[in-house]
Amino acid sequence: MNSPPPRTILANRLHRRPPAWWDVRSDLLHFALINYALPKSRLEKYIPAGRFLIPEFDVNGQKLALMSAVPFVDSDFRFVRLAPWLKFRFGQTNYRVYVIDRQTGEHGVWFFGTTLGSRLVHPAQWFWRIPWHYARYQVNFDYDQLGGRYTHFAYHTTCGWASAEIEVEDTGQPVSLQAGFSSLDEQILILTHPVAGFYDRRDGRPGSYTVWHEEIKLTQARPRRLYFSLYERLGLLTRQEMQQPHSIFLCPRITFDVHLPPQTLPEVSPDWPARGTIEVQ
Domains plus CATH for the chain?
A: 6-13+25-266 (2.40.400)
Indicate whether 130 pLDDT > 50: yes
- Does an H or E element contain 8, and which? helix 6-13
Looking at residue 277, its pLDDT comes to 43
Q: What is the pLDDT of residues 142-170, one digit of tens each?
A: 999 999 999 999 999 999 999 999 999 99
Q: Please report, for the chain, how many H helices and E strands are present, in that order.
A: 5, 14
Q: What is the pLDDT of residues 48-63, one digit of tens each?
A: 999 999 999 999 999 9
Looking at residue 86, its pLDDT comes to 94
**Kind of pairing, strands 107-116 and 196-200?**
parallel
Q: Distance (Å, rounded) from C-alpha 114 to C-alpha 71?
A: 10
Looking at residue 267, its pLDDT comes to 66
Looking at residue 214, its pLDDT comes to 96
- Those residues with Cβ within 8 angstroms of residue 137's Cβ, 6 or more apart along the chain or in another chain: 90, 91, 117, 155, 156, 157
pTM over 0.85: yes
The DSSP secondary structure of 128-159, one letter per residue, reads H---EEE-EEEEEEEEETTTTEEEEEEEEEE-
DSSP state of 82: T
Looking at residue 265, its pLDDT comes to 85
Q: What is the pLDDT of residues 200-254, one digit of tens each?
A: 999 989 999 999 999 999 999 999 999 999 999 999 999 999 999 999 999 999 9
Q: Distance (Å, rounded) from C-alpha 236 to C-alpha 246?
A: 14
* Terminal Cα-to-Cα distance of the chain (whole angstroms): 45
pLDDT tier at 269, thresholds 50, 70, 90: low
- Those residues with Cβ within 8 angstroms of residue 254's Cβ, 6 or more apart along the chain or in another chain: 27, 28, 31, 213, 214, 216
Cα dihedral 92/96/98/100 (nearest 10): -110
